[in-house]
Amino acid sequence: MPNAQPARRLPARLAAALETPVVAIGNLVAWCAILMVIVEFAVVLMRYVFGIGSVALQESVIYLHAATFMLACGAVLARDGHVRVDVVYGRIGARWQALVDLLGALLFVVPLAVLTFHVSLPYVARSWTILEGSRETSGLPFVYLLKTLIPAFAVLLAVQGISMALRAFAALAAGNGER
């Protein structure tokens, strides 16, 4: 059947299409880590060399840290760079690994992301309603943007979880278990 081959490749192509923006966002926010080091260096230099403190600059390090972790999580999952208890996974064949990935994505990753998104929306909405800012007088007035990272994290994680499930399904459907 000539139409069976393109149909088998569809899940893998869809997975790649879903994964592309997740990885691109992860690559972009990776620069936050470098910026975070530079800003922290400036905070330390200002404080201990010049005796000047800046709450806004200190809070910006927290914002960069949050952005790095929350927005790069999906990309780390895409690169298989997450922490895995590899007691069994490394010893099983590629077909079983694909099955573990499929079940893990469908039973854990995607439901966790959906739950996180659902629970965080009212919390973030309240913050946006009042345009929540820092509790510190000279702090950053963008706490509502910081909190928006939570549902953004959930969306990126869900998209990557779906991509992971599609890749695993494609590997199982191909019959050879390759990923």
Per-residue pLDDT of 101-153, as tens digits, reads: 999 999 999 999 999 999 999 999 999 999 999 999 999 999 999 999 999 99
HEC readout, the chain: CCCHHHHHHHHHHHHHHHHHHHHHHHHHHHHHHHHHHHHHHHHHHHHHCCCCCCHHHHHHHHHHHHHHHHHHHHHHHHCCCCCCCCCCHHHCCHHHHHHHHHHHHHHHHHHHHHHHHHHHHHHHHHHHHCCCCCCCCCCCCCHHHHHHHHHHHHHHHHHHHHHHHHHHHHHHHHCCCCC
pLDDT digits (tens, 9 = 90+) for 24-80: 999 999 999 999 999 999 999 999 999 999 999 999 999 999 999 999 999 999 998
**Percent of the chain residues past pLDDT 70, beyond the cut:** 92
pTM of the model: 0.86
Pick the more confident residue, 175 or 113: 113
Any idea where the domains of the chain sit in the sequence? 4-174
